[in-house]
Structure 1
Amino acid sequence: MSSGPVLYDVAGPEEKRRERLISFVLGGVLLAAAATVAVLLVRNGAFNDRWLVLVDVPMNFAGYETRHVWLAVARGLGNTLLAAVIALPLAALLAVLLVSLRSSPIAPVRWLVTGMIEVFRGLPVVLVMFFGILVLPGATQLFAVVFGLVLYNAAVFAEILRAGITALPKGQTEAAESLGMGPFLTYRDVQLPQAVRMMLPSLIAQGVVLVKDSSLGYIVGYAELLRSVSRVADALTNAEYLLPLLTVGAAVYITLNISLSRVAVWVQRRSSFARRAPARVPGAPPLP
């Protein structure tokens, strides 16, 4: 059996030269665009001494003194991670409950859960946060942020899991039923675990979105990363410091989300390797 390309022909010398030429042209265009942006930023003074605010600016902010803004950034990042760490497992558990009830044999339950999922998916996250802080008595800013993140992302997680369950071959369900497994055992032991593994990339992507959506807590007064950076800029009373401070915030968000994505990819590869590894019989000699 041939191991070469099947759906297309191998590129000849002329086609390869054309591809290299196109690559060089596109690369030159991108470099020219990047150089143009850099020149415009330099002309507008984007790289002047405003960046010293990140290393040496005496200030009194939020009750403590510091010669740089990194302590405020660290506190904001800690609040962001706190909201995400609380909301992510709660959203996952609620999603499993919703997708389980959506397959209930009781029609009114299915209709109610389907309506709830559609409503939560359709509402903006920040609006749900406002509901949490305005409607629920004694709700704090942290509670409002977690409330909005959990309800919205639980609905999205539930739809992702439902898509994974729907995509499973029907033969697996039929095989489980032929072994005497009831609907609950079939769902718990066959459908749900495979749906989670199948849809893991989408679940990971939505988890990253949850972390980024925690920045919406800024609107309800939660001192997450973006609000902490903005408060530093307000304390300095100079608008030109906003660019380096927002750049720091963006860099922290990018680093955090890339790290989460890499960890999730590693977990996915480990689980794939574990599934591919052959089972070993106790007492058998080690595999070569």
Structure 2
Amino acid sequence: MTSVLYDVPGPRAVLRNRILGVATVLVVLGAIAFIVYRFAESGQFSPSKWYIFTFSAVWEQILEALGNTLAAFALAAILSLVLGFALAIGRLSEHAWVRVPVTAVTELFRAVPVLVLMMLLYYGLPVIGIKMEPYWAVVIALMAYNGSVLAEVFRAGVESLPRGQKEAGYAIGLRKNGVMRLILLPQAIRAMLPVIVAQLVVTMKDTALGFIITYPELLYYAKLLSSQQGRPILQSAFIIGGIYIVMCLILSGIAKYLEIRTRHSPKLQALAADNAAVMHEGTDTEIIVAQKGAGKFDGTSTGA
């Protein structure tokens, strides 16, 4: 028995897959059990290791560090989206004097690691007499790197659309900015929304690099906690890592909600219908032009 995409496994293959599945689960459970055993043996579950987290002042400072992390992420995310749009439109320009410099800037920002950008802004600029606060060094570095990556995401989304949509927009008299704004960008953003959200999650996690330049975010405070009495290194990592996981899950949930909302949005459904009408009208126009060029147009032909 076969399927369109693959051969349906027979009894032996089913048995082999079940054995492999059970073996994989046992290996994973064994690894987890070993890690828990080593933690227990080294005293990582002892109350003295977690005692520091019983103080309300510690949680207040964790919340303050969380606020600093979210403040850097929020501004960096907004600026990254704006920069990504600007660079993507520049890369899609038909003018070489616009496209070439924008391409060079995009590739430069993509090639330089975020941490290197932060250190250049915070430690390098004072050499030439410019002092920058850690917050702005983190935000600008995240904006430059993630904006250049998002520029490629937007550009790929626009170029993945059928070429006929752009040509149909031109056929009914739209200018390039109208074609981009009304036809191409809405569809590209919907198609690339999962990738955009994934990059924003990377932006959120990269705020942790700010501790290198003394920005008081979550990882910076976790480092301070790990140096306290009892050295709760793993415990601090668990608490702070759990906060990062929750933030990423919330961001992914918001993205999923937006995806469902846009899929059922009446405005976007109307936009899709308008785009289909534009495609149909553009096809009719192309057929009429072709028939005129061949001398076969009699004024009654319509594209099928």
Band of TM-score, shorter chain: 0.7 to 0.9
Alignment match of 1:38 (pick from 28, 36, 39)? 36
Aligned twin of 1:257: 248
Query: What letter corresponds to residue 85 of structure 2 in structure 1?
Result: V
Write the deviation string for residues 51-106 of structure 1: whole angstroms up to 9, x where unpaired.
332443xxxxxxxxx55521121111110000011111111011111111112232
Query: What letter corresponds to residue 264 of structure 1 in structure 2?
Result: A
- Scaled by the length of structure 2, what TM-score is found? 0.81
- Checking the alignment, whether the CA contact within 8 Å between 1:84 and 1:214 is kept in structure 2 is yes
Query: What letter corresponds to residue 204 of structure 2 in structure 1?
Result: V
In structure 2, the residue corresponding to 1:69 is in which secondary structure? Answer: helix
User: Taking every aligned residue pair, what percent have the same amino acid on both sides?
Assistant: 34
Query: What letter corresponds to residue 84 of structure 2 in structure 1?
Result: A
In structure 2, the residue corresponding to 1:245 is in which secondary structure? Answer: helix
- Checking the alignment, whether the CA contact within 8 Å between 1:72 and 1:232 is kept in structure 2 is no
Alignment match of 2:262 (pick from 239, 260, 271)? 271
Aligned twin of 2:13: 15
Superposed displacement of residue 130, structure 1: 2.2
Q: Does 1:246 align with 2:237?
A: yes
Superposed displacement of residue 278, structure 1: 6.6
Distance change >3 Å, CA 232–CA 18, structure 1 → 2 = closer
1:141-180 to structure 2, matched below 5 A, reads: 141-180=134-173
Query: What letter corresponds to residue 112 of structure 1 in structure 2?
Result: P
Alignment match of 1:73 (pick from 62, 82, 91)? 62
Aligned twin of 2:301: none
Superposed displacement of residue 15, structure 1: 3.5
Aligned twin of 2:287: none
- Is there any run of 5+ residues in structure 2 with no aligned partner, and where? 271-304
Distance change >3 Å, CA 224–CA 168, structure 1 → 2 = same
Could you tell me how far apart the structure 2 residues matched to 1:12 and 1:194 are? 43
Write the deviation string for residues 139-185 of structure 1: whole angstroms up to 9, x where unpaired.
21111111101111100000111111111111111111111112221
- Scaled by the length of structure 1, what TM-score is found? 0.85
- Is there any run of 5+ residues in structure 1 with no aligned partner, and where? 57-65, 280-288
Write the deviation string for residues 105-164 of structure 1: whole angstroms up to 9, x where unpaired.
321221100000000000111121223224272421111111101111100000111111
Aligned twin of 1:94: 83
Distance change >3 Å, CA 89–CA 30, structure 1 → 2 = same
Which region of structure 1 is more displaced relative to structure 2, 208-217 or 36-45? Answer: 36-45
Q: Does 1:135 align with 2:131?
A: no
In structure 1, the residue corresponding to 2:213 is in which secondary structure? Answer: coil
Q: Does 1:205 align with 2:188?
A: no
Distance change >3 Å, CA 51–CA 5, structure 1 → 2 = farther
Distance change >3 Å, CA 276–CA 51, structure 1 → 2 = farther
Distance change >3 Å, CA 203–CA 40, structure 1 → 2 = same
Aligned twin of 2:111: 122
In structure 1, the residue corresponding to 2:265 is in which secondary structure? Answer: helix
**Larger Rg computed on CA atoms:** 2
Could you tell me how far apart the structure 1 residues matched to 2:171 and 2:269 are? 26
Which region of structure 1 is more displaced relative to structure 2, 242-251 or 11-20? Answer: 11-20
Query: What letter corresponds to residue 132 of structure 2 in structure 1?
Result: A
Superposed displacement of residue 237, structure 1: 4.4
- Checking the alignment, whether the CA contact within 8 Å between 1:164 and 1:195 is kept in structure 2 is yes
